[in-house]
Chain A
Amino acid sequence: MTEPRMQENVALSVVGTPRWTPEPDPRGGPGDPATLLTIDKNGGVTAFSGKVEYGQGIRNGFAMEIADELDVPIDSVNIILGDTALVPHDRGTTGSASTRTVGIQLRRAAAIARGALIDLAATRLEVEAGSLATRDGQVMIADGESDAVSYANLLSGHTLSLAIPEVVETKRVEDFHLMGRPARRIDAVSRVTGSTKYAQDVVVPGMLYGKILRPPSYGAKLQQLDTARADRVAGVVSVVRDGDFVGVVAEREDIAEYAIEALRARWEEIQHAASDLNLAAVLKEKAGEFVTLRDEGSLDSAFDSAERAFENSYFVPYVSNAQMEPSASVARWDGDHLTIWCANRGPFTERDGLVEALGVDPEQVRVISMDVGGSFGTKTATVSHEAARLAKSVGAPVRVAYDREEEFAWSTVRPAATFDIKSGVAADGTIVAWDYTAIHAGENAFRGQRGADTPYDVGNVRIKVAAADSPLQAGSYRSLGGATNHFAREVHMDEIARGIGLDPLEFRLANLSHPRLRPALTAAAEAFGWESRASRPGIGYGVAVGYDAGSFTAQCVEVSVENQDVQVKRVVVGFDCGLVVNPDGARNQIEGSIIMGMGTALWEAVEFDGGRVLNGKLSRYHVPRIADTPEIEVVFTGDPETLSSGAGEPGIVPIAAAIANAVRDATGKAIDELPIVPQL
């Protein structure tokens, strides 16, 4: 594996904080100043970010932003991602934040560089800077006869280091050449020829293969271990034991797998009361302290004065990210310095975890995150710890790669959640009271808070969220609690509309003045032809709205239902994420969000009992396949003058509710929990 290196022959570098937003960023500070962008003596541009490419096309987005802002050909821009030795610490690749915090800062860096090049040219040509223009990596007099001067030529003999000032003038939308237009991925050829290297594909000289002995259930303690048979397997280098941590290192992967099976282990298992069947009750019992996100007006008097009141409970089970690439890491120790090749979205977080676990200094650990074969929130760091421990023990580089069942059982799942909603409406269909209580599995209450608040107009409102001890290891997932909170709220909205005899679209519009969400909803409904829909037994229509990661979306769907065969036929999406850097990339993300959300709506649930996952195989965990693909239309409703917000996650938040509402429309059957199909 070749290791990327910092570019040599740097002629111009731009230093700044890696993140920037016009307002204070609630998702974290700007980070420490670092080199964000360089131009070498030959005019090559390199940008650095701790973000990771896991399918969202961020390398492409960054390259487009820089090439447009700096006026260079896109193929002269090299983006280095996810290597802790080379890139700034700009936080992990989460919250659909790459474009809106790092992308904009890279644009600002490129704008500063372009300004400096124009200044150099002004001096060289003895003209006013204002009379100069840039194009294709060259500076020229805007409407004159003079020859263009290349950036490389201008930089010859110079070494410039620039800082990003508070105020930077970036290009106006009408001056964009690349941004806002659909673009092919710059990495496309390597993707279709199999040459992209994922963590699973990393090979370093002298590398051995590790496999870990897994307990039969969560929390089980190792009582006895007989390694004699495994020790005798030809090709086994070492059986490593450190307390309950047991692994085999072998010359080949198949030998390591065989030797793990040859270990004789006896475990003491603990009792587990929770299963997927009693999960809602378990979460309610184990709920921690409620956090009140909003408490306004007077609920009691609002309910007293309401014409009608509604009350219901909802439930969403654990679902698996089930990304296509199972977790894998290669660890190599050079003396007391560790290098990890892995597939983590947060290389610095992974480094810090290794530093803590191994008792070493940050300078001793380099984490190189490869292009990732899907994540959506997971990619366990544990695999790197395991590889590091085995590599240390045998004194050689070791690769550990999870098989699919390990991935299901030992990586994280989307938090299951329960919801209780009480609402009151006036005679004219105005919501006057909204009392929302959610309990999300997991130690991290923040996950469940995302999307819990209501975007509708209501004066008397209380939003309470608690975290509950989780029987399974809850972790990140596309939009986290955003999608599950939206399911509960948007299904409840339909219940109210049905109860008071209003069209679900009309009822939403009557209670929605949000300046960005409302246009997304009207655009989706119009493109869908909501008014002319014709529900009938077996054919249903649903609508839901959502907000996430600074963006706003509404979705209308058509489904057909015949017994347990539910087909999502058509989805129309209104979507406002401000400036769309790459419309094709954003559309791809939204389509993917919808397909993924269809799985959670219709089929997906992690089944578990006795501390074991029961359906941890892709043959037993039903994810959407190509035959399930609906027609998907996306209408972008954002203002390009508004800074970009997230596009990777928001598409998933309303879809499960829209489908549930459509299935209800087609069948008359109330859908209060997910997944839908087993209930039909």
Chain B
Amino acid sequence: MHLRVNGESHEVAVDAERMLLGVLRHELGLTGTKYGCGEGTCGACTVLIDGNPTQTCYTPVSAAVGREVTTIEGLADGDELHPVQEAFVEHTAFQCAYCTSGFIMSSAALLDRVSGPDDDQIRSALSGHICRCGAYVRILQAVRSAAGKTGGEGGAR
């Protein structure tokens, strides 16, 4: 099976029904994408497929064939972090950071799609993600700031 991940081509011999997450992590060694729930409800396994946030624990690998997969490892441009990654650093928008890859991928997709999203759009775009450490205040600040907003409202509704 032929996959394009982070701009590189890979030939993988796996069952078409196998979930993309296991292929990324165990066959391609891209462990930045995480397993969290196995039912597409926590968002830790999110990557972009043709720019769309996709929960890979629930997506068969066949769904990625012929498409461009971007994982957290492919988001930065060399040493230059993506603006969302920069903002997550700036606002320490994480604690254990196990969920962070997923949040960053969905945030990057949002900012790609919507310029200057409002708080409701940010909350809605990230509603499929869980940060159990509860870094939500900072995640909101980081995404606002990456979106070019001032982000000084500290999580106010």
Residues of A within 8 A of B (CB): 54-57, 184-185, 188-189, 191-198, 200-201, 203, 252-254, 321-326, 371-376, 401, 403-405, 567, 569, 584-585, 588-589, 591-596, 617-619, 623-633
Nearest A residue to B88 via CB reads A192
Do residues B127 and A374 form an inter-chain contact, with CB atoms below 8 A?
no
Closest residue of B by beta carbon distance from A631: B156
Leading 4 A-B pairs by shortest Cβ distance: A194-B32, A595-B134, A55-B96, A373-B98
Given contacts A184-B90, A595-B136, contact A194 B73 (CB under 8 A): yes
Closest to A201 in B: B31
- Residues of the A chain whose Cβ atoms lie less than 8 Å from the Cβ of B33: 194
- What are 16 A-to-B residue pairs whose CB atoms are below 8 Å? A192-B72, A192-B81, A194-B71, A196-B97, A200-B31, A201-B31, A254-B18, A372-B96, A373-B34, A584-B92, A588-B92, A592-B135, A624-B134, A626-B123, A626-B131, A632-B137
Shortest Cβ distance from B82 into chain A, in angstroms? 9
Q: Which residues of B contact A192 (CB under 8 A)?
A: 72, 81, 85, 88-89, 94, 97, 100, 104
B153 to chain A, nearest CB (A): 8
Beta-carbon contacts of B125-150 to A below 8 Å, as 1s and 0s?
Answer: 01101111111111110000000000
Report Cα–Cα, A589/B156, bound state, in Å.
Answer: 19
- A188 B127 Cβ-Cβ under 8 A: no
Min Cβ gap A600→B in Å is 12
**A631 touching B44, Cβ below 8 Å:** no
Given contacts A201-B31, A324-B34, A324-B36, whether A629 and B140 have CB atoms under 8 Å apart is yes
- Chain A CB within 8 A of B38 CB: yes
Chain B, residues 1-40, CB within 8 Å of chain A (1/0): the string is 0000000000000010011001001100111111111110
User: Using Cβ atoms and an 8 Å threshold, which residues of chain A touch B44?
Assistant: 324
B132 to A324, Cβ gap below 8 A? yes
A532 CA / B111 CA spacing, docked (Å): 39
Contact of B95 among A57, A401, A594 (CB under 8 A): A57
A626-B126 in contact (CB<8A):
yes
Nearest A residue to B103, CB-CB: A626
Task: Tell whether, in the assembled complex, residue B96 and residue A619 are in contact, meaning their CB atoms are under 8 Å apart.
Answer: no
- Chain A residues contacting B97 (CB-CB under 8 Å) are 55, 191-192, 196, 373
CB pair B132 A588 closer than 8 Å: no
For A197, A375, A629, the residue with the greatest tally of chain B CB atoms inside 10 Å of its CB is A629
In the complex, what distance in Å separates the CA atom of A195 from the CA atom of B79? 13
Say yes or no: A326-B35 contact (C-beta < 8 A), given A588-B135, A623-B130.
yes
B100-124 residues with Cβ-Cβ distance < 8 A to A are 100-101, 104, 122-124
| A618/B98 contact (C-beta < 8 A), A403-B38, A404-B36, A626-B136 known | no
Across the interface, which residues of A come within 8 angstroms of B137, CB to CB?
A: 591, 629, 632
Cβ-defined contact, A618 with B36, below 8 A? yes
Determine which residue in A184, A626, A627 has the highest number of CB atoms from chain B within 10 A of its CB, and name it: A626
The residues of A that contact B65 with a CB separation of less than 8 Å are: none
- Chain B residues near A194 (CB-CB < 8 A): 30-33, 71-73, 100-101
Complex CA distance for A569 and B156, rounded to whole angstroms: 8
List B contacts of A631 (CB < 8 A): 153-157
Given contacts A54-B96, A188-B92, contact A596 B134 (CB under 8 A): yes
In the assembled complex, the Cα of A195 lies from the Cα of B76 at a distance in Å of: 12
Task: For B133, list chain A residues within 8 Å (CB).
Answer: 55, 324, 374, 592, 596
If A373-B96, A588-B135 are given as contacts, then 19 extra A-B residue pairs at C-beta distance below 8 Å, sorted by A number, are A55-B97, A185-B89, A189-B89, A192-B81, A192-B104, A198-B34, A324-B44, A324-B130, A325-B36, A325-B96, A374-B98, A404-B39, A591-B134, A617-B37, A623-B132, A625-B129, A626-B122, A628-B136, A633-B154
Beta-carbon contact of B38 and A324 below 8 Å: no
* In the complex, B99 has a CB within 8 A of chain A: yes
In this complex, the member of B35, B101, B139 whose beta carbon has the largest number of chain A beta carbons within 10 angstroms is B35
In angstroms, Cα B78 to Cα A13, docked, is 38
